[in-house]
Chain A
């Protein structure tokens, strides 16, 4: 049943996407913690002041 397999693929796709989102967001901020002392040139994004 193709339609049933499709539900599995949808589940898999959602899981991969959510994992990528969470993983990279966490790693990015973790890396920053590790380097706090050396990172001076970090960009801060301020929504009230668009570039």
Chain B
């Protein structure tokens, strides 16, 4: 494989050690340390107790639950150095799981204390205000978690949900004060320092994300052109306001905020569909599929584009693959196109197969460019609802199609898959049935 360093014309992310397993394992260990430290520290500073085990467990749940809550802010902050070994989607997967864990712990905290003391009066709001602060924090948290899990089913607008989700910071503040005022484990100085540290960390990150990033933390670009790729898909070419280059691996994505006076201007994640070999400008290819993307054709040259990039780990650059199989569905072609463009530009001679599924011929994105790729790249189109005169394959991408068009490389190829969720689930099963091991299957979902 052509090493990224040897290709002088591409601008790729530096500090490659941040992509490595050692760094990833260190981050996981660091997380576990910070999450469990309050319980270990509380024990070290007060090793014995005459309270019932359940009460001690309740207190420990409170300490760890609060630590997890503050660490949630770190996970959601989109720090590139944290996401690099895992990918942002995986960090968010972890964030969701730990959010539920924090919720369970913080629900167990009062419940265990009440059960241990047999004092159900504690569940009422007639208790002293310091305790009530904790209860309000738990209620805010529970509502937020339920919302976070069910907002899609509840059909809540994404932007409204995101705004409400930020309300969790109120639970952090209330939890902090509650612990400081009545937590017996928080009286020793060492614990107070740790508690303050978690709190200040969480608040600082919230300020960083909500003040620093919007004002100074984004790359400033301008829309140079808007090109129609198909009847509902458009490519925006973005040019930097200064000479700086965004370093990215082919296949990575960005958070794009278009500042378009009088039109929707919120931030959304989109793949960078251009290749890092392309100097200066970068591209996003966007399909009209919802409230915001339906307005993408209203973007005009000169509109400002603010981006946070690069994110994600969906790239062949992280694997030592002798051959590559790309399978795309619809607009899921964008990260794959970025990789194919890069491979073409650096004249990589590995065998490459691309199987591209769409509904109809007019849905095929980048059709012309895909037909002009070098000899080592073969492209197979599959249409599920083709016109009568379609000469190519019909139906969905199946094991048979994969075997027929990528058979010779299947034994050692790494497979990169991006498309609608149902298509990907099905193809992963088909690949497994063809003996492709999970460690060689990589996929990207267009949802985080």
Name A residues whose Cβ lies closer than 8 Å to a Cβ of B.
Answer: 1-7, 9-10, 13-14, 16-17, 20-22, 24-29, 31-32, 34-36, 39, 42-45, 47-51
> Are B53 and A48 interface neighbours, CB within 8 A?
no
Kindly list the 7 A-B residue pairs having the minimum CB-CB distance in the complex, ordered from nearest. Answer: A31-B48, A25-B56, A32-B48, A25-B57, A45-B184, A10-B97, A20-B36
Which residues of chain B are near A29, meaning CB under 8 Å?
A: 48-53, 56
Offer 14 A-B interface pairs, CB within 8 angstroms, sorted by A. A2-B89, A3-B443, A16-B36, A17-B101, A20-B39, A21-B64, A21-B105, A28-B56, A32-B50, A42-B49, A45-B59, A45-B184, A47-B122, A51-B182
> Are B438 and A2 interface neighbours, CB within 8 A?
no
> Are A21 and B94 interface neighbours, CB within 8 A?
no
Which residues of chain B are near A6, meaning CB under 8 Å?
A: 86, 90, 93-94
In the complex, residue of chain A having the shortest beta-carbon distance to the beta carbon of B36: A20
In the complex, residue of chain A having the shortest beta-carbon distance to the beta carbon of B37: A20
Which residues of chain A are near B182, meaning CB under 8 Å?
A: 45, 47, 50-51
Report how far A3 CA is from B314 CA in the complex, Å.
11
Number of A-B contacts defined by CB within 8 Å: 123
In the complex, residue of chain A having the shortest beta-carbon distance to the beta carbon of B185: A45
Report how far A6 CA is from B92 CA in the complex, Å.
10
Q: How far is the CB of B356 from chain A (nearest CB, A)?
A: 22
Which residues of chain B are near A34, meaning CB under 8 Å?
A: 48
Q: Report which of A10, A31, A45, A48 forms a contact with B94, defined as CB distance below 8 A.
A: A10
- Chain B residues 56-111 with CB under 8 Å of chain A are 56-57, 59-61, 64, 86-87, 89-90, 93-94, 97-98, 101, 105
> Are B32 and A13 interface neighbours, CB within 8 A?
yes
> Are B35 and A21 interface neighbours, CB within 8 A?
no
> Are A50 and B131 interface neighbours, CB within 8 A?
yes
Report how far A10 CA is from B134 CA in the complex, Å.
27
Report how far A28 CA is from B276 CA in the complex, Å.
57
In the complex, residue of chain A having the shortest beta-carbon distance to the beta carbon of B445: A3
Report how far A50 CA is from B59 CA in the complex, Å.
15
Interface residues on B, range: 35 or more
Which residues of chain A are near B105, meaning CB under 8 Å?
A: 21
Name B residues whose Cβ lies closer than 8 Å to a Cβ of A.
Answer: 28, 31-32, 35-36, 39-40, 42-43, 46-53, 55-57, 59-61, 64, 86-87, 89-90, 93-94, 97-98, 101, 105, 113, 117, 119, 122, 127-128, 130-131, 181-182, 184, 313, 438-439, 441-443
Which residues of chain B are near A45, meaning CB under 8 Å?
A: 51, 55, 59, 182, 184
> Are B53 and A50 interface neighbours, CB within 8 A?
no
> Are A50 and B36 interface neighbours, CB within 8 A?
no
Report how far A25 CA is from B56 CA in the complex, Å.
5
Which residues of chain A are near B53, meaning CB under 8 Å?
A: 25-26, 29
> Are A17 and B48 interface neighbours, CB within 8 A?
no
In the complex, residue of chain A having the shortest beta-carbon distance to the beta carbon of B439: A1
Which residues of chain A are near B97, meaning CB under 8 Å?
A: 10, 13-14
> Are A9 and B117 interface neighbours, CB within 8 A?
no
> Are A47 and B117 interface neighbours, CB within 8 A?
yes
In the complex, residue of chain B having the shortest beta-carbon distance to the beta carbon of A20: B36
Which residues of chain A are near B64, meaning CB under 8 Å?
A: 17, 20-21
Which residues of chain B are near A26, meaning CB under 8 Å?
A: 53
Q: Report which of B47, B117, B128, B184 forms a contact with A43, defined as CB distance below 8 A.
A: B184
Report how far A13 CA is from B71 CA in the complex, Å.
13
> Are B57 and A22 interface neighbours, CB within 8 A?
yes
Q: Report which of A3, A21, A36, A51 forms a contact with B93, defined as CB distance below 8 A.
A: A3
Which residues of chain A are near B55, meaning CB under 8 Å?
A: 45
> Are A3 and B50 interface neighbours, CB within 8 A?
no
In the complex, residue of chain B having the shortest beta-carbon distance to the beta carbon of A29: B53
Q: How far is the CB of B426 from chain A (nearest CB, A)?
A: 15
> Are A50 and B47 interface neighbours, CB within 8 A?
no
Q: How far is the CB of A46 from chain B (nearest CB, A)?
A: 9
Which residues of chain B are near A14, meaning CB under 8 Å?
A: 97, 101
Report how far A34 CA is from B48 CA in the complex, Å.
9
Report how far A12 CA is from B384 CA in the complex, Å.
42
Which residues of chain A are near B40, meaning CB under 8 Å?
A: 20, 24
Report how far A29 CA is from B162 CA in the complex, Å.
43
> Are B43 and A27 interface neighbours, CB within 8 A?
yes
Q: How far is the CB of A48 from chain B (nearest CB, A)?
A: 7
> Are A47 and B119 interface neighbours, CB within 8 A?
yes
Which residues of chain B are near A17, meaning CB under 8 Å?
A: 32, 35-36, 64, 101
Q: How far is the CB of A11 from chain B (nearest CB, A)?
A: 9
Q: How far is the CB of B195 from chain A (nearest CB, A)?
A: 15
In the complex, residue of chain A having the shortest beta-carbon distance to the beta carbon of B67: A17
